[in-house]
């Protein structure tokens, strides 16, 4: 994918690892397939994409932004594999910041509640409880995340190895 992209555009300035699989994993019934899907998209792919992109990002002094989750550092009950995968991504963010310095900056955005899963994972009461637990008493929107990603990609030349929570203050008192 990275090779195709560089052939087409001639350069690479940034990598945003956003793609993710999200579903609950009940202890006692976690399968290898669950692990592969959750760890594959949330942890493994960002590493191998960053590795493939690194030589090109070094040339342009580009940046990597990983889209994590506040539950990477404060696990959500019932989602152990997803949370552990995001915790891995948080660790990877800091490790890659070291590995790719000084040419490439690596940071993460950790969203709180932004867009509810469409599969009914969170019922109305749970959604309200989560919103009540934010300091700003509302969900965020995708533009909140996009603005933060753009900031870390292009507007923060002296920031690397950081994880920015964009969560209406939910993680401040979880």
Ligand X SMILES: NC(=O)c1ccc[n+]([C@@H]2O[C@H](COP(=O)([O-])OP(=O)(O)OC[C@H]3O[C@@H](n4cnc5c(N)ncnc54)[C@H](OP(=O)(O)O)[C@@H]3O)[C@@H](O)[C@H]2O)c1
- Cis before 102 (ω within 30): yes
- Residue of 82, 106, 110, 167 with catalytic role: 82
| Residue 111 near ligand X by CB under 6 A | yes
Is 82 an annotated catalytic residue? yes
Per CB under 6 A, the segment of 24-32, 94-102, 112-120, 126-134 that binds ligand X is: 112-120
Least distance CB 64 / ligand X (angstroms): 14
- Residue 149 and residue 3: Cα distance in Å, rounded? 23
The stretch near ligand X (CB under 6 A) out of 7-15, 23-31, 73-81, 113-121 is 113-121
How many beta carbons lie within 10 A of that of residue 31, not counting itself? 10
> Cβ closer to ligand X: 58 or 116?
116
> Nearest distance from residue 61's CB to ligand X, in Å?
25
Long-range contacts, 37-42 (Cβ 8 Å, 24+): 38/81, 38/82, 38/85, 39/81, 39/84, 39/85, 39/88, 41/85, 42/82, 42/85, 42/86, 42/88, 42/89
Q: Is 21 in the site for ligand X (CB under 6 A)?
A: yes
Rounded to 5 degrees, φ, ψ at 97 are -60, -40
As given in the structure block, the two tokens for residue 64 are 């990597």
State yes or no: residue 129 binds ligand X (CB under 6 A).
Answer: no
Should residue 115 be labelled a site residue for ligand X when binding is judged by CB under 6 A?
Answer: yes
Catalytic residue numbers read: 82
Query: Which residues here bind ligand X, judged by CB under 6 A?
Result: 18-22, 40-41, 67, 69, 111, 113-115
């Amino acid at each position: 994918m990275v090779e195709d992209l560089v052939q087409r555009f001639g350069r690479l300035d940034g990598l945003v690892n956003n793609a993710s699989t999200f579903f609950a994993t009940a202890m006692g019934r976690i399968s290898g397939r669950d692990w592969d899907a959750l760890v594959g998209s949330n942890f493994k792919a960002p590493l191998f994409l960053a590795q493939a992109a690194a030589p090109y990002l070094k040339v342009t002094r580009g940046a990597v932004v990983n889209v994590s989750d506040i539950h990477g550092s404060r696990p959500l009950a019932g989602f152990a594999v997803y949370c552990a995968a995001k915790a891995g991504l948080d660790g990877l963010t800091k490790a890659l910041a070291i590995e790719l310095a000084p040419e490439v900056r690596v940071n993460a955005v950790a969203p709180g509640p932004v867009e509810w899963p469409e599969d009914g994972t969170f019922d109305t009461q749970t959604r309200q409880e989560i919103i009540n637990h934010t300091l700003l008493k509302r969900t965020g929107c995708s533009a909140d995340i996009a603005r933060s990603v753009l900031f870390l990609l292009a507007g923060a030349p002296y920031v690397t190895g950081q994880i920015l929570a964009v969560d209406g203050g939910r993680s401040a008192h979880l």
